[in-house]
Amino acid sequence: MINTDEQIGVPKILVIDDDPITRLMLVKTLTKSGYEVEEADGGITGVEKVSSFLPELILLDVMMPDMDGFETCDEIRKIRSYSETPIIMLTGLNDESSVDRAFDIGANDFVTKPINWSLLVKRVKYLIRDSIINMQLIENEARLRQSQRIAKIFYWELIPSNLMFTMSEAFKEHIGFSVDSQINCDDFMGLIHQDERSQVEKKINKILQDGQSYHIDHHIKSVDGRKYVFKQHAEALKGKNGDISRIIGTLQDITQQRHAESIIEYQRYYDELTALPNKKLFYDKLDESLNEHHAGSLMAVVFIGIDRFKTINESLGYGAGDVILQNIGGRIKKLLSGRGVVARNGSDTFSVILNNQSGLSHIENIVDEIRISLSEEYNINNEIVFIKCSLGITVYPLDKSNSVRLTANAEFAMNHAKGLGGDRYSYYSHKMNKVALRKRELEKQIRYALDNNGFKLFYQPQIDLHSKKVIGGEALLRMFTAENNMVSPVDFIPVAEETGLIVDVGYWIIESACKQIKCWVDDGIEDIRYGINLSARQFRDPALVEKLITWVGYYNLSSEVIDLEITESIAMDDMEETLNILRKFKESNFTISMDDFGTGHSSLSYLQQLPIDILKIDRAFIKDICHNGENGEIAKTIIDMAHNLNMGVIAEGAEEEHHIKFLVDNNCDEVQGLYYSKPLPVNEFSEYVKNFDVSGK
Question: What residue ranges bind another protein (CB under 8 A)?
Answer: 18-22, 24-25, 28-29, 32-33, 63, 65, 113-118, 121
Which is closer to another protein, CB of 114 or CB of 242? 114
Please give the Cα distance from 160 to 10 (Å, whole number).
Answer: 46
Minimum CB distance to another protein, residue 114 (Å): 3
Please give the Cα distance from 108 to 630 (Å, whole number).
Answer: 134
Question: What residues pair up with 341 in beta bridges, in sequence order?
Answer: 353
Which is closer to another protein, CB of 20 or CB of 681? 20
Minimum CB distance to another protein, residue 44 (Å): 17
Which is closer to another protein, CB of 115 or CB of 682? 115
∠ Cα 45 51 53 (to 5°) = 85
Which is closer to another protein, CB of 117 or CB of 318? 117
Which is closer to another protein, CB of 91 or CB of 460? 91
Minimum CB distance to another protein, residue 94 (Å): 10
Minimum CB distance to another protein, residue 127 (Å): 17
Which is closer to another protein, CB of 125 or CB of 616? 125
Please give the Cα distance from 351 to 354 (Å, whole number).
Answer: 10
Which is closer to another protein, CB of 33 or CB of 168? 33
Residue 306 vs residues 60, 349, 367, 417, 516: alpha-carbon distances, Å = 92, 7, 14, 11, 47
Which is closer to another protein, CB of 69 or CB of 673? 69
Which is closer to another protein, CB of 24 or CB of 163? 24
Which is closer to another protein, CB of 25 or CB of 641? 25
* Omega before 397 within 30 of 0, i.e. cis: yes
Phi-psi sector, 429: left (phi>0), alpha (psi -120 to 50), beta: beta
Task: Tell me if 388 sits within 8 A of 375, measured CB to CB.
Answer: yes
Please give the Cα distance from 14 to 56 (Å, whole number).
Answer: 8
Minimum CB distance to another protein, residue 76 (Å): 21
Which is closer to another protein, CB of 41 or CB of 652? 41
Task: Tell me if 73 sits within 8 A of 30, measured CB to CB.
Answer: no
Minimum CB distance to another protein, residue 22 (Å): 5
Residue 540 vs residues 390, 477, 480, 578, 590: alpha-carbon distances, Å = 28, 20, 28, 8, 16
Minimum CB distance to another protein, residue 5 (Å): 23
Q: What phi and psi, each to the nearest 5 degrees, are found at residue 465?
A: -75, -15
Return the HEC string of 364-398: HHHHHHHHHHHHCCEEECCEEECCCEEEEEEEECC
Minimum CB distance to another protein, residue 89 (Å): 14
Cβ-proximal residues to 349 (8 Å cutoff; 6+ apart), any chain: 303, 304, 305, 306, 411, 414
Minimum CB distance to another protein, residue 252 (Å): 55
Which is closer to another protein, CB of 95 or CB of 655? 95
Minimum CB distance to another protein, residue 26 (Å): 8
Please give the Cα distance from 531 to 67 (Å, whole number).
Answer: 128
Task: Tell me if 235 sits within 8 A of 156, measured CB to CB.
Answer: no
Return the HEC string of 279-339: HHHHHHHHHHHHHCCCCCCEEEEEEEEECCHHHHHHHHCHHHHHHHHHHHHHHHHHHHCCC
Minimum CB distance to another protein, residue 75 (Å): 22
Minimum CB distance to another protein, residue 21 (Å): 3
**What are the DSSP calls for 245-258, one per residue?**
EEEEEEEEE-HHHH
Phi-psi sector, 277: left (phi>0), alpha (psi -120 to 50), beta: beta
Which is closer to another protein, CB of 29 or CB of 345? 29
Q: Is the dihedral of CA 164, 167, 172, 173 positive or negative?
A: positive
* Amino acid (1-letter code) at residue 34: G
* DSSP conformation class of 192: B
Minimum CB distance to another protein, residue 113 (Å): 6
* DSSP conformation class of 583: H
Which is closer to another protein, CB of 68 or CB of 652? 68
Please give the Cα distance from 494 to 500 (Å, whole number).
Answer: 10
Which is closer to another protein, CB of 29 or CB of 409? 29
DSSP H helical ranges for 452-589 = 489-499, 502-522, 536-539, 544-554, 568-573, 575-587
Which is closer to another protein, CB of 21 or CB of 384? 21
* Nearest residue to 505 via CA among 447, 565, 442: 447
Please give the Cα distance from 140 to 481 (Å, whole number).
Answer: 82
Minimum CB distance to another protein, residue 64 (Å): 10
Minimum CB distance to another protein, residue 63 (Å): 6
**What are the DSSP calls for 213-263, one per residue?**
-EEEEEEEE-TTS-EEEEEEEEEEEE-TTSSEEEEEEEEEE-HHHHHHHHH
Minimum CB distance to another protein, residue 16 (Å): 14
Question: What residues pair up with 216 in beta bridges, in sequence order?
Answer: 232
